[in-house]
Amino acid sequence: MYQYESSKALFERAQQSIPGGVNSPVRAFKSVGGTPIFIEKAKGAYLYDADGNQYIDYIASWGPMIMGHAWEPVVTAIQQKAAGSTSFGAPTELEIEMAELIKSMAPNVDMVRMVNSGTEACMSALRLARGYTGKNKFIKFEGCYHGHADAFLVKAGSGLATFNIQTVPGITAGAANDTLTAPYNNLDAVKQLVAENKNEIAAIIIEPVAGNMGCILPQPGFLEGLRALCTEENIVLIFDEVMTGFRLAPGGAQQKLNIQADLITYGKVIGAGMPVGAFAGRKDIMQYIAPLGNVYQAGTLSGNPLAMIAGYTLLKELKANHGIYTELEQKTEYLRNGLDRVCKEAGIPYTINQLGSMISLHFADHAVTDFTSAAATNIERFKQFFHAMLKRGVYLPPSAYESWFLNHALTREDLDKTIAAAAESLKEIA
Ligand code: KE4
């Protein structure tokens, strides 16, 4: 039986010095209740907590650990690179190699700027779109999360959905006034916003496959419609691929869904677990970025050697070995089929959304296609399911508003254990 005494003691102590005891809200277990698990180490598909419990990991650090934890080539590369110093604040050849590697994998990318998080990537891409078009307003989608820059914290997903935060203190009207929102998968609502704000909209930013209200797929024609609208109206289409980039395919969602954005943001996988983000796209837009252009954007640690060698080592493998994506997709489909079977046997209402190695299980008798339908699922049942799985050694994202992420180190045995744990958990919570 799992016991969490050390995590409980650590959480008590953490709360004396860190707001909420965590350095990012979604880790606090607030929406599922209970004590957040303090992790001591991880290897492959497994996490080991401060009490020595082992878990099969379906968070993968919210996406980055696509090869599994402590993947040897990345660990070795970081160790070796650190011996030559951890940062210079000056250009390096490795940054050129990283940019060239990204250009060789992601469609439609002429230039890349490295930053240190997905938040930085998205806020910079929005500023660039505004500088390029000379327009101020932009459209985001309810339930999508693009990091915590002021303009994006309007009807956002991830932790804001988890904690049902509608308005965030500290964000001024000035910062949020130019943010327009529409329901995901609702092209008519977007067309109406564009008509009502003619020639005022700089950008439409979207998670091409949403992962911050659970996993939600674009419906046929939705992204194609956004693409056509942006082309017609001189609006910059920004794909926020912080989650999907290099996860759904070597070329991310642009390749998987065969749709080209104007700017693309990256994070997570691109850094292999190190703090890395990037924004990228067509040269005619990217050339507006300082020092080439006047749209200022900067970062002391942007492109630092450790982050670059980690991301470069991982992306090289993903580029060379496309079988990783095939296997990840097969494993995710195997998990999906298993969850389908046990949910049907348990006789409970559920729906599963999945694309590639992104998947989410929603306790609902309706399709989950946008934030409203995601919020109408049985959150309480997810909470019970989460803890029933945790005590059986399966670590799911601690929120119904998050996608699960599979990693390459998961074995068929791990998947079977997960499916068996789900069957027992569903019986327990029925
Ligand atoms: P970061 O600033 O957290 O690196 O990236 C922000 C971000 C931007 N865009 C998308 C599509 C994202 O999913 C994220 C971050 N995702 C959350 C998980 N849903 C990060 C977890 C956390 O907040 O701790």
Stated pTM of the model: 0.97
Predicted confidence (pLDDT) per residue in 208-264, tens digit: 999 999 999 999 999 999 999 999 999 999 999 999 999 999 999 999 999 999 999
Ligand 1 pocket check for 63: Cβ under 6 Å: no
CA-to-CA separations, 410 to 60, 137, 218, 298, in angstroms, rounded: 11, 43, 27, 38
Rounded percentage of the chain residues whose pLDDT exceeds 70: 100
Rounded percentage of the chain residues whose pLDDT exceeds 90: 93
Atom of ligand 1 lying closest to residue 62 CA:
18
Arithmetic mean of pLDDT over the chain: 96
Which element (helix H / strand E) includes 375?
helix 371-375
Strands 54-57 and 263-266, by their bridges, are unpaired
Q: 């109206």: which residue's tokens?
A: 233
Ligand 1 pocket check for 161: Cβ under 6 Å: no
pLDDT band, residue 173 (cuts 50/70/90):
confident
Mean pLDDT of the region 344-350: 97
> Shortest CA distance to 211 belongs to which of 260, 259, 157, 161?
157
At residue 321, the 3 state secondary structure works out as coil
pLDDT band, residue 274 (cuts 50/70/90):
very high
Judge whether residue 157 has pLDDT over 90.
no
Q: Mutation test of ligand 1: which of 206, 212, 399 has the most ligand atoms closer than 8 Å to its C-beta?
A: 212
Ligand 1 pocket check for 62: Cβ under 6 Å: yes
pLDDT band, residue 175 (cuts 50/70/90):
confident
Ligand 1 pocket check for 145: Cβ under 6 Å: yes
- Peptide bond before 291: cis, by omega within 30 degrees of 0? yes
How many Å lie between the centroid of ligand 1 and the Cα of residue 62? Answer: 8
Query: Domains plus CATH for the chain?
Result: 5-70+322-429 (3.90.1150.10), 72-320 (3.40.640.10)
How many Å lie between the centroid of ligand 1 and the Cα of residue 24? Answer: 10
Atom of ligand 1 lying closest to residue 120 CA:
2
Atom of ligand 1 lying closest to residue 144 CA:
11
> Shortest CA distance to 385 belongs to which of 358, 338, 421?
421
* Contacts with 247 (C-beta within 8 Å, 6 or more apart), sequence order: 63, 66, 268, 269, 356, 357, 358, 405
Starting from the edge strand earliest in sequence, which strands make up the sheet with 39-43, in order? 39-43, 46-49, 54-57, 394-395
pLDDT band, residue 377 (cuts 50/70/90):
very high
Backbone angles phi and psi of 240, in degrees to 5:
-85, 100
Ligand 1 pocket check for 138: Cβ under 6 Å: no
Quote the tokens at residue 245. 């980039």
Q: Mutation test of ligand 1: which of 30, 119, 168 has the most ligand atoms closer than 8 Å to its C-beta?
A: 119
Residue 1 has what pLDDT? 63
